[in-house]
Structure 1
Amino acid sequence: MVVLVMLLTTACQKDFIEILPVDTVTVDLLYKTDKDYQDAVIGIYGIFQAQYANMYYFGDIRGDDVWDELVKGTAGAVDNFTLANDDGLLISTWRNYYKAITRANTLLERINTADAALVSNKNRHIGEAEFLRALAYFDLVRIFGDVPMVTKTLSIEDSYKTPREKVDKIYDEVIIKDLLDAESKLPEKYAGVDVGRATKGAARALLGKVYLTRKDFTKAEAKLQEVTTMGYALLPNWADLWDYTKNEHHSEYIYDIEYEQGLGTLGSIYTNRFTPKVTSMIAFYGIAGSVDDQNTPHQVLFDLFEAKDKRKDLTASRGYTDATGKFIPLLVSSNNMSAYTRKYIVKITTANDSPANWKVIRYADVLLMLAEAMNENGKTAQALPYLNQIRTRAGLDALPTDITQTELRNQIVLERRRELAFEGHRWFDLVRTGQALNVMQKYGMKPHHVVFPIPLAQIQLINNPAIFPQNPGYN
């Protein structure tokens, strides 16, 4: 394992960092058959299950639509822009992503010389590893800015010498390159137990988001337009997206972080994390284990919804409707948050064992991104129908055809907030569109907060500001 990912401090917070040795198992013995490579890819997916348990801190709590009402610990610090550079969230995030990258690098190196007769799904394994490496780097640069660009296994000595690399270079030489190759190698769909793996559509959709993030609207439009030809469709009933008695792999599904209830540690934590500490509500929903009062909908989010919007009550609620049809409001209390999202509420019999997936990218997101790209390309009239698909499903009136480019731009921002709340998009949308400081400075944001601090442990380990400086404003 490379030093970049294997940083561990002792539980008693001693002032040293233990550098773990390179793998104790001979790597060559692990990569022989097709199943060996399949298992290796599953190991990469597993890292994302752990990492995305915390994605809401970065994508939701950091933005304006969600807040940490009870102001506690890491969530409160993320919310009010006071997160310390030695916070455990940053350390685990850095370690998780580079662990995933290291596993992907190792697989990609070994599979190049693999016997095709023994590795029948060679292209698919390559495509999955590249997709996951691209996703890891996409998240890393959006969270931290410049980061080390590691595309091969490194010795411990080389790890100390690896600098932070410019974001643009990482986009050009890893993220986009990986996604283009993954797109060419991945299948359009899977069957049976393989459903949920990265597909050609997932690679295209993520690549479209990458282009949009870089403001390459021409390429974004072209790539997202390709996704619309692949058979995806909005579910007729928006609420079905959040009904966990139904199959999550539906027509709107493109790529989720997959969780499975009843299989030990493979369930998600979202149900427990996002439920208020209200005994009657916990009993009504049938939620086992303790709950954590996190991810409170802000009043500004409530104010976005029209009365007839079908997404309104499920996205953000101040209570629940009991078995008799009576609405039970949450009491304003210092012991529990006064509002919550119902997107991840489901009955669970074991704590932190929810079946709720994290939707990394779904078809509604693609339609909204395509509308944005087309509008920025001066194709306002052609972009409008894609936005109106989202509005119509939500029970809203279609926008008029004489809408201007500026008006449509604002409406797309509004629909992204209403459609994708609590799915980890708002903060990254604010940064991507250059609106973060304008919107968030009243909540404590300063210009340098567009990225998070590099974990202090990593700065101390490399101990060379010439190649590995802290982000400005965090020293």
Structure 2
Amino acid sequence: MKFFTKINLFTVGFLMVLSGCNIDPELTDVYGEQVAWSSEANLELSLNKFYPLIGQTYYTSHVNQDAFADILKKNTPSESSNLFALGSSFITPGENPLGNWDWGYNWIRTCNEFLDGIKTNGDRLPADIKLRAEAEVRFFRAYVNFELAKRYGASIIIYDKLPDGSQRSLSTPEEVWNFVSTDLDFAAANLPATVPATKAGKLTKGAALGLKARAMLYAKRWNVVTEAITALDGLGLYDLYPDYEKLFQMKRAQHLENKESILEFAYSSPNFGYSFDYFFCPPGDKGYAQISPTENLVSQYQMADGSGFSWADTAKAKKPYEGREPRFYASILYNGASWKGRTISTVEGGVDGYAIGGGTTSTGYYMRKFFDGSVKTQDLGFQPGEFTFYFMRYAEILLIKAEAMAEQGNLSGALEALNKVRKRAGFKQDLTAGSKEDFMKLLRHERMIELAFEGHRYWDLRRWDLARTALNGIMITGRVPVAAPAGTFTYKEVDADNGRKRIYLPRYNRFPIPSVELQRNALVEQFDEWK
């Protein structure tokens, strides 16, 4: 997805990092190696090139990844997520829509180039500035290695320095997770706990500890997860924002206190905004309606009293969108919803429509979360968006904590963390569980709802080894309104996959080593399940 932007991101640096800075970089037509390390200002410009890693496309990549799972459906049948999910295309060593091998190793080389440069040429910089810069880049290197590890079963190649021309074999998962953990430990030890308001969005100690908790969750190092979160909580800086809906309507320019944000990426319209709304809003907003929430997700939003929703309950089915929990109304646009001074209409042929084929919803729903509903784009058109993107927020940390505690047999601690998230969502009755298995059902539901559209669902199902059932042999459904007497509606179930069943092969739990790596590196052998 393109940016609305009039600046060169890598040359000028991020607005959020450099706004208010009173140090000027050295200006010259050609930058030599020494110039890059000659001042703190030049160092900051070098560091800025890493920050796109945490959010330069707003939530675009995250909703696209969720479309490979069961909670979002791309409305155009030829989209890669549909072709893959329905078995029209398959993951192979030569083609992988969710692979990131080349992306990852290009970034790792960039990280190692920086680390080599500061070691070789950074003598003119103060020691504390050098340590902080190294900590930032080791955070980013850890993040890239984590993104590789979660795709390739943590059987990847570790590069702790620039390549010397020799080939390297795959490291073991134990070695990979140790390497990620060590980089994040260094980052946490040398990053500041807080940064000035003029540098909001820069890496902090909390960001390093939070990413360590996320990475070690995938590594199943449960005690390390809880240790990282204990250290994060010990900073006394983070808590849930009181209002889930307003959390996703924050703008950096508002300067509102938000303790939930652990690491964020900000935008500033019109010079540095995003086009997310333009591509994903309903056609009644003059948007391109590229993606829709599924009934598989929508039915999971509970009633405000904590009871479940079911279409088999005739009273609830009569008024299916009344009395739901607040996160439902913050996240989903449904038939009859008030939106931008109008009413959403997903009847077939209505302004927001329903169809199989693209250009409108294929499920009867649209996203609400992440959209700016304050501008009547149907009349005024779209402007570059400027809501804050959260790379990590405290609600995710609480859910990570809950899962890790349950895995260590501490159900009371797990329930306490889980229920804190639910209380912010408006539930007054705490959940209980008599076993780890019972608790994990609650935890999985809560991650599905709380983190919807934030890019976790596909990877969650995969790491729980549930994808082979939850994403295999099923179809994605929707609910479309049918006009009834007295201005009411009934809702018919529709098959958004157009008569086809979804396919998830067991070997997708670990992606194959790309063919290009096998061809250029004789020490790397393909995984057994992909031979």
Name the TM-score, length of structure 2 as normaliser: 0.73
Counterpart in the other structure of 1:72: 78
Q: Per-residue deviation at 1:99?
A: 3.0
Letter in 2 for 1:127: A
Q: Which moves more between the two structures, 25-34 or 409-418?
A: 25-34
Q: Distance in 2 between matches of 1:350 and 1:137?
A: 40
Question: Which blocks of at least 5 consecutive residues in structure 1 are unaligned?
Answer: 1-23, 283-289
Q: 1:167 to 1:275 in 2, by over 3 A?
A: farther
1:178 to 169, 183, 208: 183
Q: 1:457 to 1:260 in 2, by over 3 A?
A: farther
| Secondary structure, aligned partner of 1:267 | strand
Q: Which moves more between the two structures, 381-390 or 128-137?
A: 381-390
Pair member with larger Rg: 2
- State whether residues 260 and 268 of structure 1, in contact with CA within 8 Å, keep that contact through their aligned partners in structure 2: no
Q: Which moves more between the two structures, 244-253 or 68-77?
A: 244-253
2:444 to 398, 413, 421: 413
Superposed, which structure 2 residues align to 1:221-300 within 5 Å? 221-229=226-234, 230-245=236-251, 246-247=254-255, 250-263=258-271, 266-276=272-282, 278=283, 280-282=284-286, 291=288, 293-294=290-291, 296-300=292-296
Letter in 1 for 2:288: V
Q: Per-residue deviation at 1:306?
A: 1.3
- State whether residues 345 and 353 of structure 2, in contact with CA within 8 Å, keep that contact through their aligned partners in structure 1: no
Q: Per-residue deviation at 1:108?
A: 1.5
Q: Distance in 1 between matches of 2:386 and 2:436?
A: 41
Letter in 1 for 2:365: A
Question: Which blocks of at least 5 consecutive residues in structure 2 are unaligned?
Answer: 1-29, 305-324, 347-351, 474-501
Counterpart in the other structure of 2:459: 428
- 1:383 matched to 2:414? The reply is yes
Superposed, which structure 2 residues align to 1:11-160 within 5 Å? 27-50=33-56, 55-56=61-62, 59-80=65-86, 82-83=89-90, 85=92, 86=94, 93-113=100-120, 114-115=122-123, 117-118=125-126, 121-145=129-153, 146-154=155-163, 157-158=165-166
Q: Distance in 1 between matches of 2:57 and 2:163?
A: 23
| Secondary structure, aligned partner of 2:333 | coil
Q: Per-residue deviation at 1:112?
A: 2.7
Superposed, which structure 2 residues align to 1:458-473 within 5 Å? 458-460=517-519, 462=520, 464=521, 466-470=522-526
Letter in 2 for 1:130: R
| Secondary structure, aligned partner of 1:359 | strand
Q: 1:116 to 1:413 in 2, by over 3 A?
A: farther
Superposed, which structure 2 residues align to 1:325-474 within 5 Å? 326-329=343-346, 330-334=352-356, 335-337=359-361, 338-346=364-372, 347=375, 353-400=384-431, 403-442=434-473, 443-460=502-519, 462=520, 464=521, 466-470=522-526
Q: Distance in 2 between matches of 1:48 and 1:400?
A: 33
| Secondary structure, aligned partner of 2:123 | coil
- State whether residues 109 and 152 of structure 1, in contact with CA within 8 Å, keep that contact through their aligned partners in structure 2: yes
Counterpart in the other structure of 1:315: 331
Letter in 2 for 1:336: T
Q: Distance in 2 between matches of 1:467 and 1:350?
A: 55
| Secondary structure, aligned partner of 1:148 | coil
Deviations along 1:307-342, one digit per CA (max 9) or x if unpaired, are 321001222223542455644334211331232221
Q: Per-residue deviation at 1:281?
A: 2.1
Q: Distance in 1 between matches of 2:227 and 2:463?
A: 19
- 1:200 matched to 2:205? The reply is yes
Q: Per-residue deviation at 1:458?
A: 4.6
Letter in 1 for 2:360: N
Q: 1:360 to 1:472 in 2, by over 3 A?
A: farther
Q: 1:110 to 1:404 in 2, by over 3 A?
A: same
Q: Per-residue deviation at 1:187?
A: 0.7
Q: Distance in 2 between matches of 1:162 and 1:67?
A: 40
Q: 1:305 to 1:321 in 2, by over 3 A?
A: same
Letter in 2 for 1:317: L
- State whether residues 214 and 400 of structure 2, in contact with CA within 8 Å, keep that contact through their aligned partners in structure 1: yes
| Secondary structure, aligned partner of 1:165 | coil
Q: Per-residue deviation at 1:221?
A: 1.6
Q: Distance in 1 between matches of 2:270 and 2:187?
A: 32
Name the TM-score, length of structure 1 as normaliser: 0.81
| Secondary structure, aligned partner of 1:228 | helix
Q: Distance in 2 between matches of 1:404 and 1:341?
A: 34
Q: Per-residue deviation at 1:133?
A: 0.8
